[in-house]
Structure 1
Amino acid sequence: MSRPSSAMPFQDTPADTAAYANYKVIRRNGGVVAFEPNKIAVAMTKAFLAVEGGTGAASARVRDVVARLTEQVVQALLRRQPGGGTVHIEDIQDQVELALMRGGEHEVARAYVLYREARARERAEAAKLQPSEAPVLRMVLPNGQQVPLDQARLRTVVEEACANLGDAVSVSTILDATLRNLYDGVPEEEVFKSAILSARTLIERDPAYAYATARLLLDHIRREVLGEAVTHAEMTARYPEYFADYIKAGIEYELIDPKLGQFDLDVLGAALKPERDLNFQYLGLQILYDRYFIHKDERRIELPQAFWMRVAMGLAVNEIDREARAIEFYEVLSSFDFVSSTPTLFNAGTLRPQLSSCFLTTVSDDLDGIYDAIKENALLSKFSGGLGNDWTPVRALGAYIKGTNGKSQGVVPFLKVVNDTAVAVNQGGKRKGAVCAYLETWHLDIEEFLELRKNTGDDRRRTHDMNTANWIPDLFMERVMQNGEWTLFTPNEVPELHDLYGPAFREAYERYERMADEGLIKRFKRVSAVGLWRKMLTMLFETGHPWITFKDPCNLRSPQQHAGVVHSSNLCTEITLNTSDKETAVCNLGSINLVAHVDEDGINLDKLARTCRVAMRMLDNVIDINYYAINKARNSNLKHRPVGLGIMGFQDALLKLRIPYASDEAVEFADYSQEAVSYYAILGSSELARERGAYASYQGSLWSQGILPQDSIELLARARGDYLEIDRSSRLDWSQVREHIKAYGMRNSNCLAIAPTATISNIVGVSQSIEPTYQNLYVKSNLSGEFTVLNDYLVEDLKARGLWDEVMVHDLKYFDGSVMPIDRIPADLKPLYATAFEVDPKWLIEAAARRQKWIDQAQSLNLYFAQPSGKKLDETYQLAWLRGLKTTYYLRSLGATAAEKSTVNASTLNAVQAAPAEPAPKVCSILDPDCEACQ
């Protein structure tokens, strides 16, 4: 949308008019008119002029303010229905009130509220004198026929959506809002779409509306898939017969692997559980509908339980008793106990089963190797893979090239090509192409590498769309601690450093430094270690990149030290696997829903053991079923068979157990829960080895030496000396696991990694990964649109104390989902519902450190800073290193999109008063020695 002209309150351009062509406004009399933003601006301008007058500077100010606020109103309305639709005039006026309040125009807002109330009274009086009949509504069927609106059918659909959700949801409220947004001649499809949108706006009132909205969407999906209206009650009979037809149609359309047609479809259809369709919340089901369900010519052919079974069948296709295994896999998926990663959900059971999540590559120092790596990126990204590239071997800017007797242009120009490739190859429109480039801290191009994401400078040497990460050796961190010097080299002159870590790296690095002093190395640069560290943190704060990851703990604790070197992590910093110019590492991911394994007694170990065992089998099956776009990935994956079992719903588990995130109890729970997951995952892999054999490169691994992840801490401690502070306690008896591995080995070289779970956690309706609560009420944006997310644990607590009402909703919106400034919230609840930016990042580090001792790979660990300072960043990232963390992920600071503060009831608009504005904190240069905030 173009910005409004300052000459008019809001001037529609032809482009704008076209953009609004799919939007209509329903007037109070039921009439339908075009959506014209300029009318909003005119009404708002009149309100301003009535309060402030219209001459001189006041008039100029009004034009600017009205233009800005009108755009806010229009954007808020369009976000609700990105594909077009109708909006009632009252909804528009609600948004105008909200924009005026949020803009600090309280007097104008008050006048506008009073005007609306006066007009409402006038209309009510007029209606008494001359009652009007309710308008007759007709809807247009797909064949063009007009029939009376079937309000009985509409009521039945809404009642079914609200069934068993208690008094929290109101059938009449949804119906009234739906009918208000209908008009004579409305297409049949828009009738039920209106019901979904009407229910969706009520989610902020109560989380139960998220389930009601999902069920209304489910009705729409059933009509699209089955070709007729079918109630949920009828699906018990319909699902089995539909399922066989669906598999046959999918094969005929060349969307589903013909091998799935060889299953006993009657047995599998009978195993489907229609009642689990009701477990979705709106956000999760909408994501599945938009991005995951198989479709033909934009028409979905897949219902939710068929989707889960299709994935299960795809993972069981090579099993001997494949029906039994498919049902076993279906049970853990459809119950939300475990969910495979997005590529597996996309592609399992299809003709191109690219099921792996992550690929790690090493780029060799020649043009063939560089462009082969870029080609590999494109092929892997095409089929839904996230990429991590190790660029350290590529010689630095100015380094000598013997073949041309010239000088190298360094790493940066090639990264620009990588960036543009990621944009061009976007995984068929399902996911944005994504890649992360890693560079070691001793590389002579490191300083320019740090600036790749800056918005200033030569844009030809910037990569605005890709991620970057520092691959930091322990020796550099020691030099930072000691305020020492650091030497930068070009890799073609120090070829050993790339493949060395620990004491061997130290010995070689110091030898190269001596050679530089003696003039035996031509290109090098001496810098202050602290100065380079400051620049790393400054760029991380200013641009979000490069991320901070640590080379030595990734290698010293790797089970596969005998088979190669870990040269980088992946796109999300949780995978730590060996790579070389001959091997592209692959990892297959899935996540345990932790909260589903927690009851009033804590973690249900029996259930967790069962889920982990099934999950490890599913992940191991991926390796053999998987489509590999390049041979280097296939050979590596079949040789080492790494998988990454993670967790999600950690914050939900804490809330269920009444444990604040910022507490010693949460750190202890992080320790115990990860120990339990790791125990059963590792045991599950060893049990698979008993059945299927150990992985090919098992001999010589840490596993084969009896060294488990928690034991490998000692290897890091020997190399680090005093620079390691890790708790090594344990609760479970690991003797059974050790004996099993000794007898049968391991099926998988790596078993554990905690991924971000950004999408799959939304699908099942739990908190992401190991993340703290982002906000207790906010609007989430993704490829499926914008969705209100409400913390249902908080709502239940407030209901129990009689505090959940419309004023509380307004308060949460106003304070961006924070309970801290709300006086009515009891003091004992505030620590429990502290949001991510209200939890000191040290608690995230401490919890992650406890998990890391049990994990053979790493964790996607975001760090949140409400008011970042150089000193705070320095302390936090040094703490991460001292606690033995392998990687960190995003640094997040305040400034994320707040909740759309839509008005619930005009009469309570003024229940939330504006807080006095606080001056913005001064942002200093990170670790500026002359800045008081940094000292």
Structure 2
Amino acid sequence: MLPAKLDALSPAVKTMFTRCMGAASRFRDPNFKQYFERITNSDFNRFAALDEATRSAQEPDFLKEQEKNFEILDRQSNINNLWFVFWFESRVNSWAASFNFGMTSSEVDEGGPQEEGDAFLLYRLLGVERDSTIGEIRKGYLLRARQVHPDKNLDDPRAHESFVKLQRAYSILSDPEQRKRYDDSGGDLTIFEDESDEFREAYQYYRKLYPVLTSEDIDAFAARYRHSEEEMEDLRGFVEEHKGDVSDLLEWIILSTPEDVSRFADYIRTWLSSEKKDLLPAFESSLPKLRRNGKRLAAQSKREAKKAKSPEEDPSLGNLALAIRQKQQKRQGDFLDDLEKNWFGAPSCLTPFPSPKMVMYVIKRNGQKADVQFDKITKRIRPLTKGLNQDYVDVTQITQKVAEGIYPGVTTTELDSLAAETCAYMSQVHPDFSTLAARIAVSNLHKNTEESFSKTVSELYQITDSRGRHAPLVSEEVYNIVTANAEKLDKAIDYERDFDYDYFGFKTLERSYLLKRPSDKSCIERPQHMIMRVAVGIHGEDVDAAIETYDLMSTRVFTHATPTLFNSGTPHPQMSSCFLLSMKEDSIEGIYDTLKQCAMISKTAGGIGVAITGIRATESYIRGTNGFSNGIVPMLRVFNDTARYVDQGGGKRKGSFAVYLEPWHADVFEFLDLKKNHGKEEQRARDLFYALWIPDLFMKRVMSNGDWTLFCPNEAPGLQDTYGDEFEALYEKYEKDGIGRKTVKAQALWFKILESQQETGIPYMLYKDSANRKSNQKNLGTIRCSNLCCEIVEYTSPDEVAVCNLASIALNMFVDKETRTYDFDRLHRVTKVVTRNLNRGLADAFLLMRFPYESPEALKLNNDIFETIYHAACEASMELAKKDGPYETFQGSPASEGLLQFDLWDVIPDSGRWDWGTLKGQIKEYGMRNSLLVAPMPTASTAQILGNNEAFEPYTQNIYVRRVLAGEFVQVNRHLVDDLMELGLWNDEIKDKIIRQKGS
């Protein structure tokens, strides 16, 4: 807003304004006049003062400090454009001034009296030796800067000159290449004079191309604009955009003054009465506020003008000098505290001078060039902040940071990525920044992808490889189903749900889960497309069931496991998560057949648990070759390399194998060392996970500090195929027969296990006898191992691979935040849906209910939740068996006898919430479709997608960094932030304390 009486402005202010307008026009922005909306008289005075300060300081960080002090960016988006123009012009002046001197010996006097021809003056200027490190040079620069900085020497007319020389010295000595040139020349400063000439010529060329406009140009523009049709058009546009609210009209209409209020009001009232009567009430109600704002702005301008001409100041100083002097005095007291922060970096003379021909432009998604318009960044981001905490999420600040990363030719997609990454980095300030980062990234994805699900599936089906061969990414069956039901499926999708992910979750989806074009690895799918693809892949022709699954998954009530998300609906729909194997046999053929099985499973994203207890120990006789075995270690190194090579889903995540061994195996000590970071490399296989399948007898021997005998399975057959009393009898028989390889103290092995756990976090420890006694599959035979993550216990044999499909329910989604109650009935319904599909977020639920993790209330809620899940899963499995028949080996299982999991643990459900008696009777009559139903799995990846803490684990840190294949992401416990904000305690100090305490 330029005051009506331009002549009332000081010449310096007027010059500054003309410079800004001239630069704006040179950026060829057709809307450049909008750059000056919301600019007040006081703003121009501040700009002018800042311009002078920039000439004095010549340092980028000084601009940032002035920007903070003047608070010129606490306005709407258009201020950024004027700020950039001003900054660019000021930097031109600064660069030119920085190279407008040649630091010869006659000019340097701060280092002490100099002799003519004295060399290496720059070191003396900084007070350091020639062999000083870069750290010592920085220290010397800071020390001298405190002494000669203009803010510390207000009355010294040479302070600015001295400080510029100090900057020049530091710029040379802190740059390894320039320092070497300086040293090699014997300390001759004249070698840099040519560079000074080049910059001076570049500046002169710049001014020749772009002459500064005069104040007369502004006068002419103002005369044309005021009372013109263009001004009236701007008024109408503002009123329509703000739906009749004119409270901030003077802040937006260019060249307006408080005296214009009555004129504007008369025109707007007349126009609305004839064309926009519905906006009249809002206009009339906001008009008093507009008048008050006008009076406030007028009074503010008078106060600042009076302050700038205070008679207490030196009458010889002009308005601009007065403003600078006042600002210097205000900052002087804080100088020592702020100096290192603001002046530690390299001075502005290190910044390359921009090419005179450089024009800032962006490449749009259609490939066309467009001039940079910084207000568009703000307009792009602001709508995405709906519902976020506006006290913390500052769009102007984000826009400023994004503007700093712009370069000629940057694409709009890259700008979106930069904005998203900027917000993600700021998520430690408030978790809403992570949400905003995700929204920007999602919006960018939406702009680059097809909206229609059916068209997306069609593209996925038509994909060809690099040789032009048909290589569809979805199966023909899914393609036909979607084509036949295109309208219904397209209508069911709600793309707004994509914006509910946080940044970590979205980037996880983008990195590994969304299907991409093979040619350029760009995403074809949106998150909602992926979820519907998965649902259709599971339910096939049952479109209604697919839509039901889609609705629950897209609202993040539950999610299927990673292999299902990877592969459902594709030509290779391997949707199982867990595979449990036993070695086919103790032979080369058996070992490599098992290895091939592991590779094929890993190829399609399966996690593997393999029991190797049956492989003979080191130095065991090999009858077929008359040789001796090398034991399990060389074999496991081959498995290790296979896990590294055959990653899951073709590079989507690393292959993972867990290897199970019983502690009586003769190679158990070597087994415990395999993951350690020290020792012989040929004895290590660090990419596998290791687990012990422990019989109760071993723990009894540990308790009594008894002896423990190690055997080779080839010499002591049957031990891995028995458990409980049968195992103990056979083990003790072999001990008496004296066929053991070695006898050690049980506690010695126990402490070796603990040592390995302390160093590497493994082995996992599972208890063989309990796992077998309490399994619904114990009628099939002895269970030999668990899976990769130890939540699944299933029977496996050389000719049978155990498989498990997983889905995880987000338990926090059933908490009513207002009443802090838990909806068990809805949980029951959702669990039945999940169970049918297959034929967690617990810590977040506790936090929402305000229950400490180990409190009695949390323990009871945990019991009630899992009872509800188990009852619903059993009921759904029974209903499926009633329709399709029970699983093949149901007869003889504990469930067929009316014994469910809690019966095997001698626990009686006491909540009274569910009718277990009736359900048991139905199970005995109809059977169950699934032998196993409930397992609290780790959910490392899917928890990231849902935005929950992993599995049922408590929060271990409140602020931390997660490093995954998708990148590094700052994670903040948003429940803690919400509580601290409610108490008025969330601020930078608290945040920094949490970080210093490593998230505690």
8 Å CA contact 1:161, 1:213 repeated in 2: no
Instruction: Tell me which protein shows more helix as a share of its residues.
Output: 2
Give me the whole-angstrom Cα distance separating, in 1, the residues matched to 2:442 and 2:881. Answer: 42
Give me the whole-angstrom Cα distance separating, in 1, the residues matched to 2:726 and 2:87. Answer: 78
Give me the whole-angstrom Cα distance separating, in 1, the residues matched to 2:966 and 2:836. Answer: 31
Query: Which residue number corresponds to residue 529 of structure 2?
Result: 306
8 Å CA contact 1:51, 1:111 repeated in 2: no
Query: Which residue number corresponds to residue 138 of structure 2?
Result: 47
Counterpart check, 1:660 vs 2:852: yes
- Structure 2 counterpart of 1:610, which letter? R
Give me the whole-angstrom Cα distance separating, in 2, the residues matched to 1:117 and 1:805. Answer: 22
Counterpart check, 1:245 vs 2:462: no
TM-score (norm 2): 0.63
Q: Do the aligned partners of residues 182 and 44 (structure 1) sit closer, same or farther apart at CA in structure 2, a change above 3 Å counting?
A: farther
Query: Which residue number corresponds to residue 689 of structure 1?
Result: 881
Shift of 1:345: 0.3
Give me the whole-angstrom Cα distance separating, in 1, the residues matched to 2:780 and 2:433. Answer: 53
1:323 to 522, 540, 543: 543
Higher relative contact order (CA 8 A, sep 6+): 1
Shift of 1:314: 0.5
Shift of 1:113: 4.1
Query: Which residue number corresponds to residue 418 of structure 2?
Result: 194
- Structure 2 counterpart of 1:616, which letter? T
SS of 2:665's equivalent in the other structure is: coil
- Structure 2 counterpart of 1:46, which letter? I
Unaligned runs of 5+ in 1: 1-25, 34-40, 54-65, 68-108, 124-132, 227-238, 621-647, 715-725, 819-935
2:954 to 772, 785, 788: 772
8 Å CA contact 2:602, 2:655 repeated in 1: yes
Give me the whole-angstrom Cα distance separating, in 2, the residues matched to 1:143 and 1:610. Answer: 47
Give me the whole-angstrom Cα distance separating, in 2, the residues matched to 1:114 and 1:46. Answer: 16
Query: Which residue number corresponds to residue 266 of structure 1?
Result: 487
Give me the whole-angstrom Cα distance separating, in 2, the residues matched to 1:702 and 1:749. Answer: 10
Query: Which residue number corresponds to residue 967 of structure 2?
Result: 785
1:568 to 741, 766, 785: 785
- Structure 1 counterpart of 2:339, which letter? L
- Structure 2 counterpart of 1:444, which letter? A
Query: Which residue number corresponds to residue 986 of structure 2?
Result: 804
- Structure 1 counterpart of 2:563, which letter? P
SS of 1:225's equivalent in the other structure is: coil
Shift of 1:196: 1.3
Counterpart check, 1:741 vs 2:923: yes
Give me the whole-angstrom Cα distance separating, in 1, the residues matched to 2:550 and 2:741. Answer: 57
Query: Which residue number corresponds to residue 17 of structure 1?
Result: none
2:682 to 460, 464, 467: 460
Shift of 1:808: 1.7
Shift of 1:793: 0.9
Please list, as runs of the form range in 1=range in 2, the aligned pairs for 1:128-139 lying within 5 A after superposition: 137-139=360-362
Query: Which residue number corresponds to residue 501 of structure 1?
Result: 723
8 Å CA contact 2:898, 2:921 repeated in 1: no
Counterpart check, 1:553 vs 2:770: yes
Q: Do the aligned partners of residues 682 and 27 (structure 1) sit closer, same or farther apart at CA in structure 2, a change above 3 Å counting?
A: farther
Shift of 1:368: 1.1
Query: Which residue number corresponds to residue 255 of structure 1?
Result: 473
Counterpart check, 1:762 vs 2:853: no
Give me the whole-angstrom Cα distance separating, in 1, the residues matched to 2:685 and 2:665. Answer: 18
SS of 2:806's equivalent in the other structure is: strand
Give me the whole-angstrom Cα distance separating, in 2, the residues matched to 1:567 and 1:536. Answer: 20
8 Å CA contact 2:902, 2:908 repeated in 1: no
Give me the whole-angstrom Cα distance separating, in 1, the residues matched to 2:912 and 2:846. Answer: 19
Give me the whole-angstrom Cα distance separating, in 2, the residues matched to 1:455 and 1:165. Answer: 46
Larger radius of gyration: 2
Shift of 1:728: 7.5
2:436 to 212, 225, 231: 212
8 Å CA contact 1:566, 1:576 repeated in 2: yes
Counterpart check, 1:381 vs 2:582: no
8 Å CA contact 1:561, 1:701 repeated in 2: yes
Q: Do the aligned partners of residues 483 and 423 (structure 1) sit closer, same or farther apart at CA in structure 2, a change above 3 Å counting?
A: same
Give me the whole-angstrom Cα distance separating, in 2, the residues matched to 1:144 and 1:262. Answer: 35
Say what the alpha-carbon RMSD is for the aligned residues: 2.8
Give me the whole-angstrom Cα distance separating, in 1, the residues matched to 2:675 and 2:422. Answer: 41
Counterpart check, 1:404 vs 2:625: yes
Query: Which residue number corresponds to residue 824 of structure 2?
Result: 605
Shift of 1:493: 2.0
- Structure 2 counterpart of 1:458, which letter? K
**Number of matched residues?**
662
Query: Which residue number corresponds to residue 614 of structure 2?
Result: 393
8 Å CA contact 1:225, 1:299 repeated in 2: no
- Structure 2 counterpart of 1:541, which letter? Q
Give me the whole-angstrom Cα distance separating, in 2, the residues matched to 1:558 and 1:357. Answer: 20
Please list, as runs of the form range in 1=range in 2, the aligned pairs for 1:811-822 lying within 5 A after superposition: 811-818=993-1000
Give percent identity, aligned residues only: 38
Shift of 1:278: 2.1
8 Å CA contact 2:824, 2:865 repeated in 1: no
Shift of 1:45: 4.8
8 Å CA contact 1:162, 1:170 repeated in 2: no
Query: Which residue number corresponds to residue 527 of structure 1?
Result: 744
Q: Do the aligned partners of residues 42 and 274 (structure 1) sit closer, same or farther apart at CA in structure 2, a change above 3 Å counting?
A: farther
Give me the whole-angstrom Cα distance separating, in 2, the residues matched to 1:113 and 1:566. Answer: 67
Shift of 1:194: 2.2
Please list, as runs of the form range in 1=range in 2, the aligned pairs for 1:674-753 lying within 5 A after superposition: 674-714=866-906, 731-732=912-913, 733-753=915-935
Counterpart check, 1:146 vs 2:146: no
8 Å CA contact 1:672, 1:731 repeated in 2: no
Shift of 1:138: 2.0
Give me the whole-angstrom Cα distance separating, in 2, the residues matched to 1:674 and 1:27. Answer: 63
- Structure 1 counterpart of 2:603, which letter? K
Give me the whole-angstrom Cα distance separating, in 2, the residues matched to 1:213 and 1:336. Answer: 19
After superposition, the C-alpha distances for 1:19-43 in whole angstroms (9 at most, x for unaligned) are xxxxxxx99759999xxxxxxx987
8 Å CA contact 1:361, 1:585 repeated in 2: yes
Q: Do the aligned partners of residues 466 and 507 (structure 1) sit closer, same or farther apart at CA in structure 2, a change above 3 Å counting?
A: same
Give me the whole-angstrom Cα distance separating, in 1, the residues matched to 2:655 and 2:335. Answer: 48
Give me the whole-angstrom Cα distance separating, in 2, the residues matched to 1:656 and 1:434. Answer: 34
Give me the whole-angstrom Cα distance separating, in 1, the residues matched to 2:741 and 2:341. Answer: 72
Shift of 1:555: 0.6
Unaligned runs of 5+ in 2: 1-84, 96-131, 145-173, 176-333, 349-355, 464-471
Counterpart check, 1:178 vs 2:402: yes
Query: Which residue number corresponds to residue 596 of structure 1?
Result: 813
Once structures 1 and 2 are overlaid, which stretch shifts more, 778-787 or 166-175? 166-175
Query: Which residue number corresponds to residue 365 of structure 1?
Result: 586
Shift of 1:730: 5.5
SS of 1:504's equivalent in the other structure is: helix
Query: Which residue number corresponds to residue 825 of structure 1?
Result: none
- Structure 2 counterpart of 1:544, which letter? G
Shift of 1:744: 1.2
Once structures 1 and 2 are overlaid, which stretch shifts more, 769-778 or 158-167? 158-167
Query: Which residue number corresponds to residue 160 of structure 1?
Result: 383
Q: Do the aligned partners of residues 172 and 488 (structure 1) sit closer, same or farther apart at CA in structure 2, a change above 3 Å counting?
A: same
- Structure 1 counterpart of 2:970, which letter? T
- Structure 1 counterpart of 2:988, which letter? E
After superposition, the C-alpha distances for 1:417-443 in whole angstroms (9 at most, x for unaligned) are 111111111121111011111100111
Q: Do the aligned partners of residues 119 and 357 (structure 1) sit closer, same or farther apart at CA in structure 2, a change above 3 Å counting?
A: closer
8 Å CA contact 1:471, 1:551 repeated in 2: yes
After superposition, the C-alpha distances for 1:34-70 in whole angstroms (9 at most, x for unaligned) are xxxxxxx9875533345799xxxxxxxxxxxx99xxx
8 Å CA contact 1:357, 1:587 repeated in 2: yes
